[in-house]
Structure 1
């Protein structure tokens, strides 16, 4: 009986509007994965629901993990922070070792776990956020001392950045760099230190983007995809075609033309192009609106925290998700280079789905402990009580 009362109390304090939006977005993604992958699934597996079934299995597992993490006190993560750093380095070394790491599409980013492929970088995105939130929450009294209060995690981040580049995966490396930068920004670091770190971070990304012929080709194809529409610009040109034919209401669910073999990665990195083609501007507004709601809710949860560790962790999780959205939608629309970053909860992929839902579970747990509740007045729009 005591356990049931504890569960009831914990769920009572959880931010249910946020949980509902997360589940709605995941369900929408599952629907679009079936629609965008049905042709490819039939051609390769003689069934239209191969990718749908696999994503459904991952989604069910990720929902279980989300519910579990809601009941795990976030304070526990800070205690395991050094272990998370060690795990991060070990995983990144293992993934580039011959015979352990799995190579696909000229990239070695996966580890084989029996019948499953696991992408360690997805887990490392979360582990690095926990480490950064833990360190800077403990160094508030010396946060203006660069060598002692700011620098140590940045050295770890530099190692992680270089190891991920070795895969190679500049998109994920840049994402982790910027997400950890959000935590540094939120921790109260002196502006002179912050400006120096931002400059170094941006220059590092630009340098490594221009230093590799492979990455340089992706950059030039993003600037002018029609220069080589059947080569480097092929994917982006077909994304333009999908988006351009969607209109206001789209061509109808399941009626995409580009998914019939024209648009590569239609159910993964470029799934949003199929969403717009089939559901039009209305589908785009639903997705963007859901992400904006998540962002504002996450920031409000962070502000409601009394302690620095959950505040920084909530900010890190929220803006890492938002950065993934920006990277993905920017690539699909041609506003940013193609990075291979999936769209959270919508793109096909087990590692991404599981880690994203686990991250949301931690955010919901923080909301429960902070007792975050929106204050609603009859004569006013909802306001957040901090």
Structure 2
């Protein structure tokens, strides 16, 4: 029975996910080599850690791909409760770890874990589960639409308290897409969208630091000494890459000029070294994930499975769009990593779980 399920899985999707992950591992090695030598006396330092995380994430991928997907709906209340506990715990001085003026991490056995990464998946599962159950009264705003939104609002505010506008925005957008696909009335969607937009604008303008962070992307070279430093160096890296790049390992910006070269801005280094050709390969892989995810959702008859497939697909894609938009100056910099490619244990594990769930659902297709 297990083999019959494996044979029905989407092997193109599996292949693309692992291509991106191996490609990311290669680029983490290249982008992090100088900083590894500088701070840890080993250029392999971040590569080895990322390889360890990737191997661990593969175990999670396999588990997510093989378990009965109906269990995700059963677990959703517990996942939401765990999300609340972790989001409150990370704000406690004795538990949360602060870095770069943000308290987003919990230290577990010497490893840093970012709860918001797990919360992304938990909220998508919860929204897919709850709106699948509410199909009979989905047109009733108070009874069918509002209760899960209140839970989302609490989670959103807790993540903003860290502060982490990027993660909060991703969760809001992914859950919003699930609500849209669930069949909610247009006027209800417009109401929820308007309230969300007002809240985000208020949050952005309530702090001079956040406002500067969100607006400096418009003129990075004019604000080079303040909020534009990262983006300016990212644009220099991208411009230097041209069509075919300067060759793997030959980035200049990773030599201490571009902060977070192996995490948030790894794609800028990739373009500098591999050029537009490298970007095209990554973009093509993400497009395959997008179209396969939508294709899988359309072939599912179970409403929970459909909404879950859509949610997982767009959870990956929204994060990719925000990251690529940030490094190119099209969107504000919010500290969002690039799925499957950026360095980071929490990120690679959670993205692999997303992919595993999507692959799991592909075996449930009727055609």
Asked whether the two chains share a fold, i.e. TM above 0.5, the reply is: yes
Query: Which of 348, 354, 359 is matched with 2:354 structurally?
Result: 359
The residue number in structure 2 matching 1:11 is 6
Pairwise CA RMSD: 0.9
Q: Comparing 22-31 with 200-209, which one deviates more in the overlay?
A: 200-209
Query: 1:291-324 CA distances to partner (integer Å, 9 max, x unpaired)?
Result: 0110000000011110100100100010111110
Secondary structure in 2 matching 1:103: strand
2:82 pairs with 1:87: yes
The residue number in structure 1 matching 2:316 is 321
Checking the alignment, whether the CA contact within 8 Å between 2:316 and 2:354 is kept in structure 1 is no
Partners of 1:202 and 1:314 lie apart in 2 by 26
Q: CA deviation at 1:69?
A: 1.4
Secondary structure in 2 matching 1:189: coil
The residue number in structure 2 matching 1:245 is 240
The residue number in structure 2 matching 1:383 is none
Q: CA deviation at 1:22?
A: 0.4
The residue number in structure 2 matching 1:381 is none
The residue number in structure 2 matching 1:173 is 168
- TM-score, structure 2 length as denominator? 0.99
Q: Comparing 193-202 with 352-361, which one deviates more in the overlay?
A: 193-202
* Structure 2 gaps, min length 5: none
Secondary structure in 2 matching 1:226: coil
Partners of 1:82 and 1:45 lie apart in 2 by 42
Partners of 2:170 and 2:243 lie apart in 1 by 32
The residue number in structure 1 matching 2:274 is 279
Query: Which of 325, 344, 348 is matched with 1:349 structurally?
Result: 344
Q: CA deviation at 1:81?
A: 1.3
Q: CA deviation at 1:223?
A: 1.6
Partners of 2:38 and 2:238 lie apart in 1 by 24
2:215 pairs with 1:220: yes
Query: 1:152-188 CA distances to partner (integer Å, 9 max, x unpaired)?
Result: 0100001001100110111111111011000000000
Secondary structure in 2 matching 1:25: helix
Partners of 1:71 and 1:272 lie apart in 2 by 32
Runs of 4+ residues over 2 Å off in structure 1: none
Q: CA deviation at 1:219?
A: 1.8
Secondary structure in 2 matching 1:111: strand
Alignment of 1:198-217 (within 5 A): 198-217=193-212
Partners of 1:100 and 1:61 lie apart in 2 by 24
Q: CA deviation at 1:220?
A: 2.5
Query: Which of 293, 305, 308 is matched with 1:310 structurally?
Result: 305
Q: CA deviation at 1:230?
A: 2.5
Query: 1:114-169 CA distances to partner (integer Å, 9 max, x unpaired)?
Result: 11110000000000000000000000010000001000010000100110011011
Q: CA deviation at 1:327?
A: 0.6
Alignment of 1:1-386 (within 5 A): 6-370=1-365
Partners of 1:70 and 1:158 lie apart in 2 by 30
The residue number in structure 2 matching 1:382 is none
Secondary structure in 1 matching 2:244: coil
The count of residues paired between Structure 1 and Structure 2 equals: 367
Partners of 1:303 and 1:220 lie apart in 2 by 39
Secondary structure in 1 matching 2:184: coil
Secondary structure in 1 matching 2:363: helix
- TM-score, structure 1 length as denominator? 0.94
Partners of 1:288 and 1:208 lie apart in 2 by 32
Secondary structure in 1 matching 2:154: helix
Q: CA deviation at 1:205?
A: 1.4
Secondary structure in 1 matching 2:97: strand
Q: CA deviation at 1:84?
A: 1.1
